[in-house]
Structure 1
Amino acid sequence: MKKTVITILMLLVSVCAYAEIKIGALLALSGPISNLGKPGQEIIDGVIAEANKTNMLGEKITVVSYDTQSLPDRAQTYAKKLIAKDRVNVIVGPNGTGEALSVLGEAMSSKTPMMAFAGGTSVVMPVRPYIFKSPQTTTTAIEKAFNYLKKKGITKIAVAADATGFGQDGLDQINKYSKGFTITGIEKFNATDNDVTTQMSKLLSAKPQAVVIWTVGRAGAIAAKSLRALDPNILMVQSHGIADNSYLKLAGAAAENTIMPSVKLTVASSIPASDPQKKAIDLFVKKYGKLIDETSVHASYAYDGINIVLAALKKAKAEKIPLQQAMEKITNFVGVTGVYNMSKSDHCGLDLSSMVIVKVKDGKFVLEEM
């Protein structure tokens, strides 16, 4: 009993009476998803500088960052370093689903809260005590896309997914939530492939009404070009990870008429004033719009994630509770990505209302459906 009491007291002291608050950041500053990590670093540095300037938490906040190089094994190595050597209070990042999954064990075994910036449902499902994330889950994105397809009378779909953690998480969720659809074919490809014509040809041979592609980054553009070369008119649905300006640049004309679930930031000017996120989105665009245009709208996950962590740190100190519990008590937090309502059973806190359906028209993203 005595040992239990001492352990609890030590945990409370560790999160409520910092001499210095140390936040560890695992960011893809190089590698294929560096367009997420680099702006994420700039955003985190800006947010923390402002928090220190206003003495938000009453103590100095320090950020210790490492470049995961977009690699899961590198993310795991640096997670161990952040925990054992740097002794951080909380970890933010990594950016990729595969990276985040590789870090779960380290965060859980050390009881270090982590706010991931990765999209995969598997990062927070099943719910793990110390693991949270700021982007919508793959499940939410798929549900949004599938609701749209059903309204359009689509019943037969083909699926192409990359072999990364994100792609396979998407495939798992598509299979799980495909009720009402006939999946005419499934093909996998490597995110580094320069052509996926063979896979797309096989999918088209089964005569689907739409092809759903689940990947991120450059691979989405390669897949689009391969598909459009074979069939310029088939309905193409991409993942929420493709709703980014880089897709428009890399895919060019092949991106035209692509449908995808997306954060509202992608079509910020079309979001009505009545939307609860409108003010937060407009303020973010005013401050970071140029940076986002040059990199990725998905860097907004870092903005929301770090701000949620700061709010939780403040709550932990005020209520004298562990940070992990404080994060579960974050509700009605209006972010750029969505309105967050965390709980013990939901460590993402975003629902369908945080997403829209967008379409590529004349080389630009336009709002298709709220």
Structure 2
Amino acid sequence: MYTVFGWGMSDKARKIIHVDMDCFYAAVEVRDNPTLVGKPVAVGGESDRRGVIATCNYEARKFGVRSAMATATAVRQCPQLILVKPRFQVYKAVSRQIHAIFHRYTELIEPLSLDEAYLDVSDCESYRGSATLIAEAIRREIFEETGLTASAGVAPNKFIAKVASDQNKPNGICVVAPDDVPAFVEALPLRKIPGVGPVTEQKLAELGLKTTADVRMQTPKVLQKWLGRYGDVLWKRSFGIDERPVETSRLRRSVGVETTLSEDIGSLQQCKSVLSDLLPELIQRLDKHDPKRRIHKQGVKLKFADFQQTTVEQTTTELRQSLFLALMDKAFERADGRKIRLVGLNVGLPEEEGEAIQLQFEW
């Protein structure tokens, strides 16, 4: 059950909907192959080729299978797991259908991926401006036209809407009216905050911060000392504050390339060899974006065999292979004996040179 909220703009509160499809890739596969109904299904690469799970349905999740898990691990945890190869063209086609539904209600749409997006319906007149009823209509139309279910969060800002959309999954809705925001975030686990992954969660726990209540006990100045600029963001989120608008376009901030290795590697020299192989592709991508190669930083990324990862970056205005090699030295030190499964390179683009791109995906 939920209450229908149609709060007006006199409150100066936005009406934001975060729509998140349920197990999108896997749901499409089950829809298109009814023999899979009720069985544990995952979409991803093959287990004997170092594949990774892209997504899985709830039947598979009961066995501990999850997104980004190595396929080999997923199969060990769920021997009866049905592995399906990705069909990205199909997923993109379905995503187009879903976005067409969004556009019936607003043009202020910020896609986050093929299967989720923020919608600002503050000025939408449908259903007398009720964000709750608009969200329900969108979910209903998605199911009627694609056969897939979606969950939604309705709130006065993006942060609360995204957290809310996960509250009643699958096929659910959670509405947080402006007056309910303080209670909603009062003791929220920090892992619920977008951007707080396992590594950050562990670091925060070491500082004695496990919930928003813990964060509220600190001052912004102390949090900034501990966490840098993210400290201010975390403090605001702990009070439910998020001033970010729904962005239909943004500046491209970086260009990068990475590769998941067919076998783990264990030496610095091997990492540098992969780096040398990746560099021409990075340069090609950068030249396509900006032939003058204007950058403001370079970075190296390593993912270890235990799936933890690290990134080392340095400010620079000149693309240099020697700097990438030096950054690799620093990144490899953090391996601490662990083998490497992924190597990546990236360059940051100056903001004034950043290319405005539509927040959409290549269909």
Higher relative contact order (CA 8 A, sep 6+): 1
Q: TM-score range by the shorter chain?
A: under 0.3
TM-score normalised according to structure 2 size: 0.27
| Bigger-Rg structure (1/2) | 2
Considering fraction of residues, name the structure with more helix: 1
